[in-house]
Amino acid sequence: MTDRLGDRIPAAPEPTVETVGYWQAADSHRLMIGRCRTCGEAHFYPRARCPRCLSADTVLEQAEGAGTVYSYSIMRRAKVPYAIAYVTLSEGPTMMTNIVGCAADDIRIGMPVSVVFVESDGGHRVPMFEPAVIVAE
């Protein structure tokens, strides 16, 4: 499987009143995580109540958009194969995503990746990750 991943159009996310801010941020190419102003901890996915301390004082915070691949799998039983993955963000939380912009065989656990925002099927853009640009030595 040497095809470049990324031709698949993701299903449109279905936000709730609680999460529409996250998805609107994605439309403007910003990846958000949740941050609790009571305990200071980051979490993903962002939510109205902190999963560490149950405080309701949570805010969206823009993430750097950099991370490493925690795990991945290439879905072959699909019209267009795609790579599901967990990426651990530099801020700490790990999020589910897709890896795009490379060949399936090029993905490795631990690989540095950076966020891109992919148009969905008629809805908000979806944060995905591609291999981080390696600065030539």
Site residues (CB under 5 A) for Zn ion?
Answer: 36, 38-39, 50, 52-53, 55
Are 101 and 6 contacting, i.e. CB atoms less than 8 angstroms apart? yes
What is the secondary structure of 62-83 as a DSSP string?
Answer: E---EEEEEEEEEE-SSSS-EE
Q: Give the x/- contact pattern for other proteins in 33-72, rule: CB under 8 A.
A: xx------xxxxx-x---xx-----------------xxx
Tell me whether strands 32-36 and 94-99 are parallel, antiparallel or unpaired.
unpaired
User: Binds 60, which of other proteins, Zn ion, none (CB < 5 to 8 A, cut-off by type)?
Assistant: none
Residues 78-137 that bind other proteins (CB under 8 A): 78, 82, 84-86, 88-89, 92-98, 109, 120, 126, 128
Which residue lies nearer to other proteins by CB, 78 or 135? 78
Q: What is the DSSP letter of 105?
A: G
